[in-house]
Amino acid sequence: MLDSAKIAVLLNGRLYGSEKAVFHRCTADSRQVKGGEMFIALAGEKTDGHKYIARALQSGAAIVLAEEKRLRREGVPVLPEKSSIIAVEDSLKGLQQLAAIWLKEIGARVIGVTGSNGKTTTKDMVAAVLGTKFRVHKNAGNLNTEIGLPMTVLGAPSDTEVMVLEMGMRGLGQIKTLCEISCPCAAVITNIGATHLELLGSRENIARAKWEIVESLPEEGIAILNTEDKISMEKAASYHGKTLFYGIEGKFGRPDLWAEEIIPSGDTGTTFRARYKKENVLIRLPLPGKHNVLDALAALGAGLLNGVNLESGSQALEGLQISAMRLEILPGCHQSIIINDVYNANPASVKASLAVLKERGGAKTVAVLGEMYELGAASQSGHREVGVEAAGLGVLELVTVGKLAEEIAAGALQNGFLPSRIHICEDCAEAVTATKKIIDLLGAGTWVLIKGSRGMHMEKISNELKTDNKL
């Protein structure tokens, strides 16, 4: 157990208050302090956490990690009897350093997960599979940044055997930093696409940034890679470390672990057979789409490398609980079915969701698509690419939301979509009105996909269209 006195020594910090204070989780938001937390006072571009130290302590924070200079400027507040403040030179670096120390102390193995699409779903799947044999800790939601990941680590119980850590990035060197904190022994890359192209400038830089997780592996570490992803396999060609390849068709390499006999199962699931060496098992995955089958294979691969056979892994996947707003199948108005996939969007993920829509909805399909952010110079072409795909798949009605998404409509027209079936909307409210009219006309059994970047808040549309009925 790390108490305040020990933490101060480990971080070479100055201790104010109790020497025996302990915490059960970390937060950098004083509004989330309920009692017993370590509040990390961070100085950001928009606000400075040091201004909220007193509030955090009043709300029950056990320990505050702060920066000495800023603490002196703001003044050391009156401390409750059992609380403490630890002042260090840099609170973010202190957080990261403490996470690395805690990880070494408890001795948990780390499986790192990154990729342009499917990180969170794959993380949840890996944790479920490994949870059949080990005590597992994972990121809550998508706490996958240089702040969220070390807070996740510090929230791990002392008896944790395996941590499954999702790693996000918005620039070169960021995944390397996360790996320096967590030291993964295995790494999953789901795929490498155009996400964050605006921030990194080129697909080559995105590939370099994602590949940092593989370069950080120890000599005995294993990279778990997708043979359906061109860039991953191009990078793998010059990689001399250990690998486990997974896939379906093996477009860009031969998979060691693969899926076949893939068929839709009910409204929400997919049945497939997984094969590895002499093992094979039929799996009923409670999620739609081939891209989710690929994520499941990655999880099974992580399990196999840690002594979890396909049979045990399949049982874990069949009982899977997935994070919200990711391909949720919900009952909609007028007996429609809503695919609520609003967590985020880029061209590859939208195309995967469109495939699910067409696979499930047949003739009566509506795609409600919002803007996709951070595509940089590829914004116009990326949005048009999605429109072309929607038309090619035979989606019946298209509703676009936002100015950038008008390029989706242009791409659809380019590929033969009927103009009368395209509805261009400025915002979510207008899109709700347009979509309700379409559902009313098409009637019961209409399938509606809702997807866009997080900043579009497309859940506003889902919330207006869904009902409390059960499917």
Token readout for 237 is 């060609």
Residues 6+ apart with CB under 8 A from 38: 23, 25, 26, 27, 61, 62, 63, 64, 65, 154
**CB of 403 within 8 A of CB of 377?**
no
Is there a binding annotation on residue 121?
yes
Is there a binding annotation on residue 118?
yes
- Measured between alpha carbons, how far is residue 433 from residues 341, 357, 422 in Å? 19, 21, 14
Report CA 89 to chain centroid distance, whole Å: 31
Is there a binding annotation on residue 116?
yes
**CB of 1 within 8 A of CB of 22?**
yes
Report the alpha-carbon angle 396-398-401, nearest 5.
165
Nearest to 113 by CA among 299, 245, 388: 299
Token readout for 253 is 């390499």
Region of 60 (left: φ > 0; alpha: ψ -120 to 50; beta: rest) is left
Query: How many Cα atoms are found within 13 Å in the side-chain-facing hemisphere of 119?
Result: 29
Backbone angles phi, psi at 364, to 5 degrees: -100, 85
Gyration radius of the chain over CA positions = 24
Is there a binding annotation on residue 144?
no
Token readout for 196 is 């964050």
Is there a binding annotation on residue 190?
no
CA torsion sign, 5 to 6 to 9 to 14?
A: negative
Residue ranges at the known binding site for ATP: 115-121
